[in-house]
Amino acid sequence: MSIAAPLTPKQGESERLSTVLTTKRVGLGGAALGLIAWILPLPPVLARSPWPSIALGLLAALAGAFVVLDPKHRRLGGVTIFFGLVAIPLALAMTNQSAANVSQVFTWSAVIASGLTFTTPLLFGALGGVISERSGVVNVGIDGMMLMGCYFSVWGAYATGSWVLGMLIGMLSGGLLALVHAYFSIHLRSNQVVSGMAINFLAYGITGYLLVAQFGNNGTPGTVPTVPNLVLPVIKNTAFFGVAFGRTNVLTWAALLLVPVIWWFLFRTRAGLRLRAVGEHPMAASTVGLRVLATRYAAVTVSGVLAALGGVYLADGFDGSFNFQMTDGRGFIALAAVIFGKWNPVGALGATILFGFSSALAYRMETFSATLGTLFQALPYVLTLIAVAGLIGRSRPPAADGVPYVKE
Amino acid sequence: MTDQTPVLELRAITKRFGPVVANDRVDFDLQAGEVHALLGENGAGKSTLMSVLYGLYSPTSGEILVDGEPVRIGSPGDAIAHGIGMVHQHFMFIPVMTVTENIVLGSEPVKRGSGAALGVLDRRASRRRVQELSDRYGLAVDPDARIEDVSVGMQQRVEILRALYRNARILVLDEPTAVLTAQEITELMAVLERLKADGTAIVFISHKLGEVLEIADRITVLRRGRSMGTVPRAGATEQSLARMVVGRDVIFRVHKDAAQPGRTILSVEDLHVRDDRDLEAVRGASLTVRAGEIVALAGVDGNGQSELVQAITGIREPTAGRIAVDGTEIAGRGVRAATAAGIAHIAEDRHRVGLVLPFTLAENLALRRYRQPPLSRHGWLNLKAIRELAVRLVEAFDVRGGGPDSPASALSGGNQQKLCVAREIDSDPKLLVAHQPTRGLDVGAIEFVHSSLIEQRDAGKAVLLVSLESEEVSALADRVLVIYGGRIVAEFPPDVSDEELGIAMTGGAAAAA
C-alpha cells in the first residue's frame, strides 16, 4: 500500500481482520526472513558461508509462494518471493569476496553519507515531477531543467561571488525553461513527451554552448563559492552519526525537509487540493470555478525550479564546477522515482533513497568488482519495470496526466 | 405565474458553432420557487443553452439577467457567484476524491488564524457542513466515501449538494433522471419539491414527457435551437407536448402483431459469471429465446444484466454454465465465435463498446463483417465495398449528420445509435441482443429503434431485449423475464402490471416463490 495515503481507508476491511491476519503474517514473516538473509553476509554479522542465507532465502520464497496463491495478497507474496530469491545470489557474491572487501564496501556510516549524496538530486527532480504530474502535465524535461540549474548556479556563483545568488540564478533558469515547456504543453497543447524531450536537448545545447562561450576550453574555474555543508556541532565527532550525517550539504537537508512540506501542501491545503483536482479531471475542476491553465502553469514552473535545485546541488554542492551533460540522465531516474513512488512525495522519497543507495553501493563496489557494481546500478530500472508492471502495488497516475485541457 | 421580477431571464440567446446555430434567439425566464422544464429532442439545444448560462460557452449574442440586472457570465466561477448551480448530465467529479472533497472543491473551508494565510484545509468543518446540508434536504450521502465507490444515484445527490453548498438559488438539472432507477427518480422528485418550497428556482432539462408533466410548473420546448413556446403544465398533455417537440404527431406505441415463435435459438443453462471485482454477478441464470419472439429482460440496474449480456455476446468468459445459439455451444469462446454463431449485439454503451468514435461511419459499419468477403479478401480491405455498404446503410437507416467518411463522433446520440442498429441488423443475425437500445434517445429515435426490433422479430429473428424502462418492456416484449440478484426470478406475459413487475424486480417475487 502507498505510504501515508491521504484518504480514509475503506470500511469493511476490519471485519475480515481475523482471517486476513494468518496469510498476511506468513507473508510479512517471509519478507522478514528474506531481509535477514540479505543482512547475514554483510557487516556487522559478516557470515562467511552462504548456506544460512540461501536456506532463509528459499524459506522466504516458499512463504511468498504460499501467500501469492491467495488473490487478496498477491502483491505481498510477490514482494516476499522477490526478497527471498534475490538474497541467494547476493549471499553467494558476498561470501565469494574477502571479508575485508565486504566490510570496506559496507561501512554503513559511509554508505549513508554517500547514499544521501546520490539521493539528493534525484529527490529534487522527483519532487518536481510529482508536482507537475499531479497537475496533469508530464514533465520529461526534468533532466534538462536540472542541467540548467547545474550550469547557471556555477555561472551565477562565479559572476556574483555568492553561492546564494548562484543558487537563485540556477533556480530561475530551471523555472524559465519549465515555462517554455508549460507554454508548449498547456497553451499549444503539443505532445508533452515530445515537448519534454525537446526541452532536454535545448538545455544540453544551451549549457554546452555557454560553457565554451563563457569559460573557454578549460571549463569552469573550480574556484567559485559553493553551497556549504551543514556541520552539526556535537554529532560531527561521534563515530557513526558523525560520518553519516555530520557534514551533510544544506541542500540535502532542504530536499528531505521538502518531502513533508510538499506532502502537506498537496494533501492538506486548499491550493494542493485544487492542483490535484486539475490533474485528475480538469473539466470538473473548471466547472467549480478553478483556473486550470493557471494552476498548471504554476505547477510546471515550480517543478522546473525544484529540478534546477537538484542541478544546483550536483554542480555547486560539490566543487563548484560544471561539465557537459553532467546530469548524466538523473532527471530520467527521478521520473522513474515519481512512478515508483506513486506520484506521492513520500513515495518519491522512498524510491529515490532506494535508487540513491543502490547507486552508492554500486559506486563503492566498483573498487573490487565491476560486475557486481553494474548489477546494483541496474537495480533502479529493474524495480521501476516491476512497479510499472503492477507487481509491487499498482501505480495509478493522475487521471488527466499528459492530457491537454481544451476549454470550449 | 406571478408578475414579480424573475430571478433569471435569458433574452434572445444565440449561440453559433461555426455555421451551426445551436441556439437561435431563445427566451427563457424563471421565477423563485418554480420548476421550469426545458423540453426537447437530443440536439435541440437544451444543454447548449444551459452551458451558456453556466459560463461554459459564451453566447454569440443575447442577454442574461439575474434579479432583473444584466450580468456577464464568462466562466463557471461567475455563474456560481450569481447563485447558479448546475447538476451536469455527465457528472463532473474527481473520481478518486471523497464526496466531501468534491462538494467543497473551489470554495473550501480553511482553518482560521495562521492557517488562513496558508490556506490550510479545515477538513472537519467541510465534513460537518456537508453532513448538515445532507440532513437538511434529506439527500443521503456518505461524506467520506470516494466518488468512484458510490452509486450513480448518490453521485447525483452529491451534485445537488454541491450546488446547495454554494448557496445556489437557481438550480439547473440536465437530464437528471437519465441515469436513475425508478426508486431514485421518486426520491429525486421529493427532493425537488422540498427545494421548491424553500424558494429555489429549478430548471429541469428532459426529453421525457411523463416526468416533465409530473414535476414542472411551466414547460418551454426547444426544437432545432429555437423556442417553440412556453406552456403551463395545466392543460398540457403528452400528445400536445410531443407535437411541440418533434413538430408532428408521434405514435407512442409501435404497432405489433401477435408473435409467431418458432424453434429455440438461444438457450442459456445455469450460467455463472463474475464481474470486474471478481464477485459472482450472474448466479445460475437459465433462459431461452425462440425465433420470432422478443424476450425482455427486466430488472433494476446492477442485478447482473450487463454480465449476462457480456457472456452471451462473448465479451466475458462465464465461470460455469452453457450458452448455445441454434445448437452451437459458444460459452467462453469469445466474440468471434458468438458472431459466427449468429449473434448481433446492440451494446449498452455506444461510446465505449458500440462504436469507435474517431473512426468514420464506413469503418464503424464494417466492424462486424470486415473479415469476410466482400469487405476483405486475403487480409486486404476492399475499401470500395466498405464504402458501398456504408452508403447503403446510411440511406436505409436514415442516419443523419454525416456521410460515410465523417467520424462517428460527429453524429448526435440518436444517429450514433442508428449506426449501431444498422450494423447489427445488417449482419443478418439469428439472435439480436439489444441492451438498453434507447438509452438517452429522444422520442423520434426511440420510435425508430422500437419498430426496427419488431421488424426483426417479424422476420423470424430471436430478440433479447434488456431494458430498465418498464414502458419499453411492455411496448415490445412477447415474454418478460425478471432478473434479480443474478438469477431469473420470474416470467410474465407482456400485459403484466407495473406493480407486479416492480415487486419482482425488487426481489419480492423471489421471496414469495
Look over chain A and give the mean of its residue pLDDT values, rounded to a whole number. Answer: 87
Region B3-30 average pLDDT: 87
- Dist. CA B350–CA B346, nearest whole Å: 8
Q: Is the pLDDT of residue B511 over 50?
A: no
Decide if B255 is inside a domain. Answer: no
Q: Do B54 and A287 touch (CB under 8 A)?
A: yes
Of B304, B330, B349, the residue nearest B429 (C-alpha): B330
Decide if A65 is inside a domain. Answer: yes
Decide if B58 is inside a domain. Answer: yes
Q: Is the pLDDT of residue A18 over 60?
A: no
Same domain, A178 and A83: no
Q: Which of B93-102, B222-231, B281-290 has the lowest mean pLDDT?
A: B222-231
Same domain, A100 and A126: no
Same domain, A353 and A214: yes
Of A270, A280, A281, the CB nearest to B110: A270
In this predicted model, which residue has the larger pLDDT, A146 or A50? A146
Interface with B, mutate which of A10, A263, A273, A395 (most B CBs under 10 A):
A273
Same domain, B374 and B504: no
Q: Do A269 and B118 touch (CB under 8 A)?
A: yes
Q: B377, B400, B428: which is the final residue of a domain? A: B428
CATH of the domain at B12: 3.40.50.300
Same domain, B46 and B75: yes
Decide if A294 is inside a domain. Answer: yes
pLDDT of residue B248: 60
Give A247-272 pLDDT, tens digit per residue: 899 999 999 999 999 999 999 999 99
pLDDT of residue A3: 41
Label the pairing between strands A229-231 and A247-249: antiparallel
Query: CA angle at residue B49 from B47 to B51, to 5 degrees?
Result: 65
Alpha carbon B314 to chain centroid, angstroms: 24
Region B49-56 average pLDDT: 92
Which residue from B minimizes the CA distance to A407? B56
Helix (H, G, I), strand (E, B) or coil at B144: coil
Assembly ipTM: 0.82
pLDDT of residue A387: 65
pLDDT of residue A89: 86
> In the structure, what pLDDT confidence band is assigned to residue B94 with cuts at 50, 70 and 90?
very high
Q: Is the pLDDT of residue B2 over 80?
A: no
pLDDT of residue B1: 46
Interface of B with A in 98-157 (CB under 8 A): 98, 101, 105-108, 110, 118-121, 144, 146, 149
HEC string for A41-64: CCCCCCCCCCHHHHHHHHHHHHHH
Same domain, A77 and A129: no
pLDDT of residue B320: 93
Q: Do B57 and A71 touch (CB under 8 A)?
A: no
Same domain, A48 and A185: no
Query: Number of structural domains, chain B?
Result: 4
Region B154-159 average pLDDT: 91
A&B contacts, CB < 8 Å: 74
Query: Number of structural domains, chain A?
Result: 2
Region A25-39 average pLDDT: 88
- β-sheet bridge partners, residue B26: B13
Q: Is the pLDDT of residue A204 over 60?
A: yes
Same domain, B433 and B338: yes
**Nearest chain A Cα distance for residue B148, angstroms:** 12
DSSP B316-381: S--SEEEEEETTEE-TTS-HHHHHHTTEEEE-S-IIIII--TTSBHHHHHHTTTTTSTTTEETTEE
Same domain, B435 and B490: yes
Which residue from A minimizes the CA distance to B103? A288
> In the structure, what pLDDT confidence band is assigned to residue A393 with cuts at 50, 70 and 90?
low
Q: What are phi and psi of B330, to 5 degrees?
A: -125, 0
| DSSP classification of residue B166 | T
Give B441-467 pLDDT, tens digit per residue: 777 788 888 989 999 999 999 999 998
Which residues in chain B have their CB less than 8 angstroms from residue A288's CB?
A: 76, 80, 92, 105-107, 162
Same domain, A25 and A112: no
**Nearest chain A Cα distance for residue B269, angstroms:** 29
Of A7, A269, A290, the CB nearest to B119: A269
Q: Is the pLDDT of residue B277 over 90?
A: no
Q: Which of A160-164, A376-380, B326-330, B435-439 has the lowest mean pLDDT?
A: A376-380
Q: Is B213 exposed, middle or buried (0-12, 13-18, 19+ CB in 10 A)?
A: middle
Question: Mean pLDDT highest for which of A161-175, B147-161, B187-201, B465-479?
Answer: A161-175
Of A128, A125, A120, the residue nearest A329 (C-alpha): A125
Residues 6 or more apart whose CB falls under 8 angstroms from that of A55 comprise none
Q: Do B110 and A268 touch (CB under 8 A)?
A: no
CATH of the domain at A229: 1.10.3470
Look over chain B and give the mean of its residue pLDDT values, rounded to a whole number. Answer: 87
Which residues in chain A have their CB less than 8 angstroms from residue B278's CB?
A: 71
Q: A104, A130, A147: which is the final residue of a domain? A: A104
Same domain, B419 and B455: no
The whole domain housing B394 covers 357-428
pLDDT of residue A352: 94
Chain A touched by B198 (CB under 8 Å):
no
Which residues in chain A have their CB less than 8 angstroms from residue B94's CB?
A: 276-277, 280-281, 284-285
Decide if B91 is inside a domain. Answer: no
What CA dihedral angle connects A273, B150, B93 and A349, to 10 degrees? Answer: 30
Q: What are phi and psi of A12, to 5 degrees?
A: 95, -15
Q: Do B121 and A281 touch (CB under 8 A)?
A: no
Quote the strand ranges of B413-469, DSSP E.
431-435, 462-467
Give A299-317 pLDDT, tens digit per residue: 999 999 999 999 999 999 9
Distances from the Cα of A367 to the Cα of A101, A102, A328, A360, angstroms: 9, 11, 21, 12
Decide if A2 is inside a domain. Answer: no
Same domain, B333 and B475: yes
Which element (helix H / strand E) includes B412? Answer: none
Half-sphere exposure of A268 (CA within 13 A, CB side): 13
> In the structure, what pLDDT confidence band is assigned to residue B302 with cuts at 50, 70 and 90?
confident
Give B348-368 pLDDT, tens digit per residue: 888 888 899 889 999 999 998
Q: B125, B148, B166: which is the final residue of a domain? A: B166
Which residue from A minimizes the CA distance to B165? A288
- Dist. CA A381–CA A400, nearest whole Å: 25
Same domain, B395 and B334: no
Which residues in chain B have their CB less than 8 angstroms from residue A71's CB?
A: 278
Q: Do B110 and A399 touch (CB under 8 A)?
A: no
**Nearest chain A Cα distance for residue B262, angstroms:** 46
Decide if A271 is inside a domain. Answer: yes
- Dist. CA A370–CA A349, nearest whole Å: 28
Q: Is the pLDDT of residue A334 over 60?
A: yes
Q: Do A287 and B93 touch (CB under 8 A)?
A: no
Same domain, B268 and B295: yes
Of B225, B333, B318, the residue nearest B268 (C-alpha): B318
The whole domain housing A31 covers 17-104
Q: Do B105 and A274 touch (CB under 8 A)?
A: yes
Same domain, A168 and A312: yes
Q: Do B119 and A285 touch (CB under 8 A)?
A: no
pLDDT of residue B115: 72
| DSSP classification of residue A185 | I
> In the structure, what pLDDT confidence band is assigned to residue B485 with cuts at 50, 70 and 90?
confident
Q: Is the pLDDT of residue A45 over 90?
A: no
Of A8, A271, A290, the CB nearest to B144: A8
Decide if B456 is inside a domain. Answer: yes
- Dist. CA A347–CA A387, nearest whole Å: 12
Which residues in chain B have their CB less than 8 angstroms from residue A10's CB?
A: 149
Q: Is the pLDDT of residue A9 over 50?
A: no
| DSSP classification of residue B15 | E
Decide if B89 is inside a domain. Answer: no
In this predicted model, which residue has the larger pLDDT, B12 or A237? B12
Decide if B496 is inside a domain. Answer: yes
Decide if A378 is inside a domain. Answer: yes
Q: Do B162 and A288 touch (CB under 8 A)?
A: yes
Q: Do B94 and A284 touch (CB under 8 A)?
A: yes
Region A118-143 average pLDDT: 97
Of B96, B106, B118, the CB nearest to A288: B106
Percent of chain A with pLDDT over 70: 92
Interface of B with A in 422-461 (CB under 8 A): none
Q: Spell B374-410 as b/e; 16+ CB within 10 A means b.
A: ebbeeeeebeebbbebbeebbeebebeebebeebbee
Q: B391, B408, B428: which is the final residue of a domain? A: B428
pLDDT of residue A102: 83
Q: Spell A191-222 as b/e; 16+ CB within 10 A means b.
A: ebeebbebbbebbbebbeeebeeebeeeebee
> In the structure, what pLDDT confidence band is assigned to residue A5 with cuts at 50, 70 and 90?
very low
Decide if A380 is inside a domain. Answer: yes
Same domain, B294 and B363: no
Same domain, A145 and A206: yes
Decide if B92 is inside a domain. Answer: no
Decide if A405 is inside a domain. Answer: no
Q: A104, A125, A154: which is the final residue of a domain? A: A104
- Dist. CA A18–CA B86, nearest whole Å: 46
Region A86-108 average pLDDT: 84
Chain A touched by B208 (CB under 8 Å):
no
Of A71, A276, A287, the CB nearest to B76: A287
Long-range pairs of A214-220 with CB within 8 A, sequence gap ≥ 24: A214/A155, A219/A321, A219/A322, A219/A323, A220/A154, A220/A155, A220/A158, A220/A320, A220/A321, A220/A322
Same domain, B122 and B12: no
pLDDT of residue A127: 98
Q: Which residue type does B128 have?
A: R
Decide if A53 is inside a domain. Answer: yes
Same domain, B411 and B443: no
Q: Which positions in chain A have a beta carbon within 8 angstroms of at least one beta carbon in chain B? A: 7-8, 10, 71, 268-271, 273-274, 276-277, 280-281, 283-290, 399, 408
> In the structure, what pLDDT confidence band is assigned to residue A377 with cuts at 50, 70 and 90?
confident
Q: Do A270 and B86 touch (CB under 8 A)?
A: no
Which residue from A minimizes the CA distance to B278? A71
Q: Is the pLDDT of residue B213 over 70?
A: yes
- Dihedral sign computed on CA atoms, order B303, B306, B312, B318: negative
Question: Mean pLDDT highest for which of A53-67, A163-177, A364-378, B302-316?
Answer: A163-177
Report whether B466 contacts B436 (CB < 8 A). Answer: yes
Residues 6 or more apart whose CB falls under 8 angstroms from that of A135 comprise A275, A276, A278, A279, A295, A296, A298, A299, A300, A398
Same domain, B156 and B10: no
Interface with B, mutate which of A11, A270, A395, A396 (most B CBs under 10 A):
A270
Q: A78, A104, A130: which is the final residue of a domain? A: A104
Q: Is the pLDDT of residue B119 over 50?
A: yes
